[in-house]
Amino acid sequence: MPESLSAPSPAKLNLTLEVLSRRDDGYHELETVLQTLELAGAVTVTLDSDAPGVAATGPFADGVPVDGTNLALRAAAALAARTGRDISRLRIELEKRVPAAGGLGGGASDAATTLRLLQRAWNLPEPVLFAAAESVGSDESFFLAGGTAWATGRGERVRPLPPLPPAAVVLFVPGSTLERKTARLFAALDAQPFDPGGVSAMFARRPATPVTGWDVYNAFERVAFDVFPGLGKLFEALEERIGQPIHLAGAGPTLFWIGGEDGAERAVDAGAGLPCTTIRTRTAPSLWR
Ligand code: C5P
């Protein structure tokens, strides 16, 4: 049997997400505080496989590309190019337990975990990992850190924050997402005034008290309900049943409730009969620090 390495690839939430400006390169300048969750997929890499390529299994494998556009494979290729390694016999197996294209960073997390596993196999220093991550996408660098972190730039400049007290999280995942939804949401924001900034900085300085929906801010909530059909109705139904604020996860369309364990049951019950998959999880510390 060829030797394989495995590790989890957690989901994330943006606890704050401010969009400050549109840059000349088409990306947007962000301020965001991110947090990894217990909900996680898993990545297995085999360096010398007779069946090279990407395979996706698990409850959210549907529609995950397994060709050269796969983020985990792109990350591996970026790292190999930077370090002169051969990945022609590399096999990457993805156990997809995080909803894809839901705003939870599942693909970016797979990419970061792949980089961590290749780091272990090839004994690589940190900077080349971050360079490869950054070349693949904006969320990948955060997942190399994990836990609670503050990110700026297009999301790739990551500063770890002290861990927050654990919080319960309930995710409400609508059945469908949209093609190029992140780009579409950013474009929709361009038609409106940008955020002045300061919310994430304040969040980063807050005392380590438990996070609730009252603390969360996401700029995409200004436009998401116009872009995702039916999302506004789902949001209203959930908020009315729960009686507390719920929020959009990243660029959506997943919605989430966050708070103490004693409130999670009510949030789970609120999802019953609505057009979404309800997933109970909690915040989790970094796997890597
Ligand atoms: O970086 P990533 O591939 O995840 O981004 C997907 C798309 O979202 C980009 O092509 C870009 O249109 C948009 N984006 C942006 N500003 C960011 C991150 C992403 O405009 N900071």
Q: How do residues 84-100 score in pLDDT, each as one tens digit?
A: 999 999 999 999 999 99
pLDDT given at position 1: 65
Q: Are residues 14 and 147 in the same domain?
A: yes
Q: Give one DSSP letter per residue of 26-43, joined into a string.
A: S-EEEEEEEEEEEEEEEE
The domain spanning residue 198 has which CATH number? 3.30.70.890
69 lies in some domain? yes
Q: Are residues 98 and 11 in the same domain?
A: yes
Mean pLDDT by 10 residues, the chain (289 residues): 91 98 96 98 98 98 96 98 98 97 96 98 97 97 98 97 96 93 96 96 91 97 96 98 98 98 97 97 95
Candidates 24, 48, 50, 139; catalytic one: 139
Q: How many whole angstroms from 27 Cα to the centroid of ligand 1?
A: 6
Give the ligand 1 atom nearest the CA of 138. 1
Q: Are residues 134 and 239 in the same domain?
A: no
Query: Which residue lies with its CA nearest to atom 7 of ligand 1?
Result: 183
Which one-letter amino acid corresponds to residue 26?
G
**CA–CA–CA angle 224, 57, 92 (5° rounding):** 100
Domain boundary among 160, 191, 210: 160
Q: Are residues 93 and 145 in the same domain?
A: yes
Q: Are residues 149 and 172 in the same domain?
A: no
Please tell me whether the peptide bond between 253 and the residue prior to it is cis, using omega within 30 degrees of 0.
yes
Catalytic residue list contains 12:
yes
Q: Are residues 145 and 243 in the same domain?
A: no
Query: Which residue lies with its CA nearest to atom 9 of ligand 1?
Result: 183
Catalytic residue list contains 269:
no
Q: Residues with Cβ within 6 A of ligand 1?
A: 27-28, 30, 137-139, 154-155, 182-183, 186
194 lies in some domain? yes
Q: Are residues 145 and 199 in the same domain?
A: no
Domain boundary among 119, 139, 160: 160
Q: Are residues 156 and 204 in the same domain?
A: no
287 lies in some domain? no
Q: Are residues 27 and 54 in the same domain?
A: yes
Give the ligand 1 atom nearest the CA of 153. 21
Q: Are residues 108 and 201 in the same domain?
A: no
288 lies in some domain? no
182 lies in some domain? yes
Give the ligand 1 atom nearest the CA of 29. 21
Q: Are residues 249 and 175 in the same domain?
A: yes
258 lies in some domain? yes
Q: How many whole angstroms from 207 Cα to the centroid of ligand 1?
A: 31
The domain containing residue 146 runs over which residues? 4-160
Give the ligand 1 atom nearest the CA of 182. 8
In whole angstroms, what is the distance from residue 240 CA to residue 274 CA? 13
289 lies in some domain? no
Query: Which residue lies with its CA nearest to atom 10 of ligand 1?
Result: 183
221 lies in some domain? yes
The tally of domains found in the chain comes to: 2
Which tokens is 50 given?
């007779």
Q: Are residues 138 and 183 in the same domain?
A: no
Q: How many whole angstroms from 26 Cα to the centroid of ligand 1?
A: 8
The domain spanning residue 9 has which CATH number? 3.30.230.10
Domain boundary among 114, 140, 160: 160
Measured CA distances, 67 to 8, 36, 74 (Å) = 21, 27, 9
Q: How many whole angstroms from 133 Cα to the centroid of ligand 1?
A: 14
